[in-house]
Structure 1
Amino acid sequence: MAPRANWKGFLRLSLVTCPVALYPATSDSEKISFNQINKNTGHRIKYMKVDADTGEEVASEDITKGYKVDTDTYIEVSKDELENIALESTRTIDIDEFVPKSDIDPRYLIRPYYLVPDGKVGHDAFAVIRETIRSMDKVAIGRVVLTNREHIISLEPLDKGLMGTLLRYPYEVRSEKEYFDEIQDVKVTKDMLDLAKHIVNQKAADFDPEKFEDHYEEALTELINAKRSGKTITAKARPRGENVVDLMDALKKSIASEAPPSKGKKPRKAAAGQKEMLLPIEGKKPAAKKAAKPERATGRRKAG
């Protein structure tokens, strides 16, 4: 099933406008998730919205938003009042400026989205805006409203579409000074730096996300499969850090212990999702293409 758009509206560069849709570029749906259950009954835990003072359950139509002024005082704000202050960016991404990508501090980056033409019309205008950004070798900066909040969004060409990245406001980024001020000024000798650089060169590689493996997700899969098979679960030994007595000696030992990365080895891909590694639910047959490896068949019984 194709993902639903998080936002639909218009992309505008001066007088050039086209309808667009914004889709999330990432997903956590393939990760293993847990429900909270009552360990005495095995039933799922259900949460209710209750009045903090009376303890009585409150119906959804009786719930409104409130800004806390002090301990017992809230300023109520209705849905209509929030809609009345709706900004133009609720329906339009206006490109305000173009900046070099290198100017954007990584701390301001939040999450990526895909921006595509919405419908059959507007592809020409979309292409004009996309290629203009590409030819200028810069990033477009605009504004968009998501979940009732206005966000700054950067736009850059990605293949035939645009990648939008939500950016934080300055007040959301903490100053590094309160964390870094107490770091001691240490003089690193040339010999130490040369040894450390040698270690870096031994570990040098091209960035390839296909090599990344989610080891915790794999451990969760092993745990769930072991429990479903009735196996005894034992704690794994945890590695212990060694005290560094001589930094120069530690650097030399590191060089001796580090082997160049193997270029021929390809790790197991987890792109299809860790859920495929779970044992099949009892009574269900694994899919035909997974018949040779039943332990990787899709299926997972939810708690409760």
Structure 2
Amino acid sequence: MAPRANWKGFLRLSLVTCPVALYPATSESEKISFNQLNRQTGHRIKYLKVDADTGDEVPNEDIVKGYQLEKDQFIEVTKEELEEIALESTRAIEIDEFVDRSDIDPRYLIHPYYIRPDGKVGHDAFAVIRETIREMDKVAIGRVVLTNREHIIALEPMDKGLVGTLLRYPYEVRSEQEYFDEIQDVKVTKDMLDLAKHIVNQKAGRFDPEKFEDHYETALIDLINQKRAGKVIRPKERPKGENVVDLMEALRQSVGREAGSAKEAKPAKKPKNASGQKEMLMSIAGKKPAKEASAKKPAAGARRKSA
């Protein structure tokens, strides 16, 4: 079953309109997460919303939004006032223009979403919009309101649906000049470039996310399993960084090392998929893993036949 839609409304290209639903394309829920505990009691820490001056807990119905003008001076804004300024993009994604994918600076990309028709109607109009974007080899740019804020959204076809990627506004992107201005101008020789290019050619490949494993997540699972098993955790030695003195020599050694690595290369181990990541954890004592339990549980039809 697909997750609950984050947004429902209409996708509109001029007079062509169809109802659509928008779903998050990524998930963080499968990653290991921690709770904060009281070291003395082992109990979870609970956060309360309290008045900063009185220290009294404040119920949700008495909490309102406020914009700070200066210290201890706020402009209160009600929910009704925010709804009054609701934009057209609250209920519709209006396609404003079509651009080349290369025109979109990667710094502007935020979150991807899957977009599909909502309900049984509008599939024809959705297909027309999707295939038009595909045939023109363009990215459609529109606007959508999520979490009470209007976002730019870039739409691209994927299989039978669309992927919509939220984009940042220019004021949200920092200028690179404040970070790059102090970088020294260095003359790179042809010999250095040739050696570096050779290393790149030895490492050339195609991007396949299945080749990559989240080593930190795997290490966390291993740590938790060791602690559950009562093992003593000892710190590991950290690798020491090497100070490069001769850049040309470092490049030559890198070429030789990469050549040796290429000969000994083995097929990359595929990481556990999202749904199986936490299955690496030890099962709780006295309980059977969900998969094993469901496998041994007889089907309803089988029970009726044996009755």
> Normalised by the shorter chain, which TM-score bucket?
over 0.9
Range with greater deviation from structure 2 (113-122 or 237-246): 237-246
Distance in 2, matches of 1:111 and 1:286, equals 34
Write the mapping of 1:44-59 to structure 2, written as runs, cut at 5 A: 44-59=44-59
Name the stretch that deviates more: 161-170 or 253-262. Answer: 253-262
Distance in 2 between the 1:191 and 1:105 partners?
A: 32
Distance 1:173 1:261, change over 3 A: farther
With normalisation by structure 2, the TM-score equals 0.92
The SS at the match of 1:260 is helix
Aligned 8 A contact 1:7 1:146 in 2? yes
Equivalent of 1:269 in 265, 268, 271 = 271
Corresponding residue of 1:113: 113
8 Å CA contact 2:212–2:270 kept in 1: the answer is no
Q: Is the 8 A contact 1:20 1:118 kept in 2?
A: yes
| Residue identity opposite 1:52 in structure 2 | A
Q: Deviations over 1:209-259 (max 9, x none)?
A: 000110100110010000000000011111111111100111111111122
Q: 1:36 to 1:261 in 2, by over 3 A?
A: farther
Alignment check: 8 A CA contact 1:32 1:274 kept: no
Q: For residues 1-304 of structure 1, what are the structure 2 equivalents within 5 Å?
A: 1-258=1-258, 259-260=261-262, 265-271=267-273, 272-287=275-290
Shift of 1:60: 0.5
SS state at 1:207 partner: coil
SS at the partner of 1:283? coil
Tell me which amino acid in the other structure corresponds to 1:177.
Q
Q: RMSD across aligned C-alpha pairs, in angstroms?
A: 1.4
Aligned letter for 2:215?
A: H
Write the distance in 2 (CA, Å) between the matches of 1:288 and 1:206: 35
Answer yes or no: is the 8 Å Cα contact 2:139–2:155 preserved in 1: yes
* Runs of 4+ that moved beyond 2 A: 261-264, 286-290
Aligned CA distance change for structure 1 residues 178 and 41 (closer, same or farther; 3 Å): same
User: How far 1:265 sits from its partner (Å)?
Assistant: 1.1
Deviations 1:45-88 (A, max 9, x none): 00000000111100110000000000010000000000010001
Q: Secondary structure at the match of 2:130?
A: helix
Q: TM-score w.r.t. structure 1 length?
A: 0.93
Amino acid at match of 1:260: A
Q: Which has the larger helix fraction?
A: 2
Counterpart residue identity of residue 185, structure 2 = D
Distance 1:288 1:149, change over 3 A: closer
Change in Cα spacing, 1:149 to 1:262, as seen in structure 2 (3 Å) is farther
State the 1:261 CA deviation: 7.4
Task: Give the counterpart letter for 1:276 in structure 2.
Answer: E
Unaligned runs of 5+ in 1: 291-304
Contact 1:9 1:92 (8 Å CA) reproduced: yes
The aligned amino acid for 2:280 is M
Report the residue type matching 1:151 in the other structure.
Answer: H
Identity in percent: 77
In 1, the alpha carbon distance for the partners of 2:268 and 2:290 equals 25
